[in-house]
Amino acid sequence: MDNRAIGYIDSGIGGLTVVKQALLQIPDEQVYYVGDTARMPYGPRPQDEVLGFTWQMVNYLLKKDIKMLVVACNTATAAALPDLQAKLDIPVVGVIQPGVDAALRKSTDGEIGVIATAGTVKSLAYYNGLLQGNRAANVVQLAAPEFVDVAENHDYTSEFARQVVKEKLMYFKNHQVDTLILGCTHFPLMEGFIQEAMGPQVTLVNSGAETISTVVEFLDKYDLRHAAANPADHTNDEYFTTGSVKRFATIGGRWLDDKEMTVKHLDIVGDTLVLNESVTD
| Catalytically annotated residues | 73, 184
Q: Which has the closest alpha carbon to 180: 164, 161, 199, 166? A: 199
For residue 12, say whether it is annotated as part of any ligand binding site.
Answer: no
- What amino acid occupies position 227? A
Strand partners, 69: 7, 92
Q: Return d(Cα 39, Cα 46) in angstroms, integer.
A: 13
Residue 32, marked binder: no
From its phi and psi, is residue 124 left (phi > 0), alpha (psi between -120 and 50) or beta?
left
107 is in an annotated binding site: no
* Residue 110, annotated as binding a ligand: no
φ and ψ at residue 180, rounded to 5 degrees = -130, 120
Q: Is 226 annotated for ligand binding?
A: no
Determine whether the annotation assigns residue 11 to a binding site.
Answer: yes
Length of the chain as a residue count: 281
The annotation status of 126 as a binding-site residue, yes or no, is: no
**Could you tell me where the DSSP H helices lie in 107-190?**
118-123, 125-133, 145-153, 159-168
Q: Provide the 8-state DSSP code for 63.
A: T
Residues in the annotated binding site: 10-11, 42-43, 74-75, 185-186
Residues in the annotated binding site for substrate: 10-11, 42-43, 74-75, 185-186
